[in-house]
Chains A and B, each alone.
Chain A
Amino acid sequence: MSKTDGEVLATPKRRGLSLDGWAVLLAFALAALVRAGLFKHVPW
């Protein structure tokens, strides 16, 4: 019998934000700063 028989994979609860979550948060924060006029021009 496999060691995994009968086991159920529960969705683990993680503390804090994932990498994706932090990336989205940073992008939203930058977008908010641009919208508020703090970054008027971003050179490239």
Chain B
Amino acid sequence: MADAVVLPQVQPVRPAIQFLKLVPGVLLLGAVGYAGKLLEQNVGKYAKAHHWTFPNIEYVLWAILIGLAISNTVGIPQIFRAGVATYEFWLKAGIVLLGSRFLLGDVLKLGGASLALVVIEIAVAIGFMTLLGRVFGLKPKLTTLLAVGSAVCGVSAIIATKGAIDADDEDSSFAIAAILALGALALFTFPLIGHGLHLSDHAYGVWSGLAVDNTAEAAAAGALYSDVAGKLAVLTKTTRNALIGFVVLAYALYWASRGQAQAIGNKAAFLWQKFPKFVLGFLAISLLATFAFFNKDQIGALANLSRWAFLLTFAGVGLRTNFRELAKQGLRPFAVGAIGEVVIAAFTLGLVLGAQKIFHW
């Protein structure tokens, strides 16, 4: 008689334990972000007291630099990793709360102008990245992932597309690494270019939202320039994010028609599944603010809560960027991404400068 086979029992992880695992990393995000805020307040004062010439560095940059220093020297110990990964959660909560600073009319007006620019940017970026991928001989699905990542919204778009077109894990990690590395570079180059060209806060904010791929980096690049630029970068990037479902659906249908991805059943359900729900939250809070559901002090309180949420996000941007890990992913996808990003950044800058003349930003 055969022995009975005993299957190992999978122990479900309790939600309370999962929650507790997040605490150390979230505390680290808070500590890094708050250290950035303290440095912003005190370094300038110290330099002034000692008659030094020192540029005024915003908390955003300090938080990112401290995070980068930790991640690229001692690394992030395992105990903090789950909590550090919540930076995207804080970003989305922050964006929803930021809705209180926009009246719905402004959202429609600014969002409408941004939408036209976003549609042009997406079409040009996808076309150019596809061409570039062919020229460099990249695998077609890796080219698709890079095109979606640079045209729509970085890592989220790559992950959404990977599932829909049955791309390899290796391809998606190449594309994610390229997009993250280029996002990190944009944090330092965009403000310099913006100041060099004397862009207005409005024009710079729209440009960051159009050209920087990952939402966290787009928000950070905007906030590094000014508060107003940060708000507009988030609004433009949110408009871009809202189109993710359509782009992913189009690619899924294309690859399915070639027999290299699963066919899509219910297209409306697919679109809803891919649609970023925080966009609806942002619009809902904006609607409440428009109808004076909150008074002036309450809007101030919500705006500050949004700033605290972004503080955790900016700390996370630095902490999760490890240049050694990114460098391991190979040069060709990075080269395609880099050339594509430079061209897209230059093209969107031209678009924004044109729109600036038309809309008098």
Contacts and interface: CB of A to CB of B under 8 A. Distances in A.
B266 interface: yes
A31 B270 CA distance: 30
B270 to A, nearest CB: 6
A21 B277 contact: yes
Contacts of A19: 88-89, 92
B278 A34 contact: no
A25 B93 CA distance: 8
Contact of A24 (B166, B272, B277, B308): B277
Interface string B272-289: 110011101100110010
Interface residues of A, number: 31
Interface in A1-44: 1-2, 4-12, 18-24, 26-28, 30-31, 34-35, 39-44
B304 A8 contact: no
A41 B297 contact: yes
Contacts of B266: 10-11
A20 B92 contact: yes
Given A23-B92, A34-B298, A11 B262 contact: no
A5 B255 CA distance: 11
Interface residues of B, number: 44
Nearest to A37: B298
Interface in B61-98: 88-93, 96-97
A28 to B, nearest CB: 7
30 contacts: A1-B259, A2-B259, A4-B259, A4-B261, A8-B262, A8-B265, A9-B164, A9-B261, A9-B263, A9-B264, A10-B265, A10-B266, A12-B273, A18-B277, A19-B92, A20-B92, A20-B276, A22-B89, A23-B278, A24-B93, A24-B281, A30-B302, A31-B100, A31-B285, A31-B302, A34-B294, A34-B305, A35-B293, A42-B300, A42-B304
Interface of A: 1-2, 4-12, 18-24, 26-28, 30-31, 34-35, 39-44
Interface of B: 88-93, 96-97, 100, 164, 166, 252, 256, 259-266, 269-270, 272-273, 276-278, 280-281, 284-285, 288, 293-294, 297-298, 300-302, 304-305, 307-308
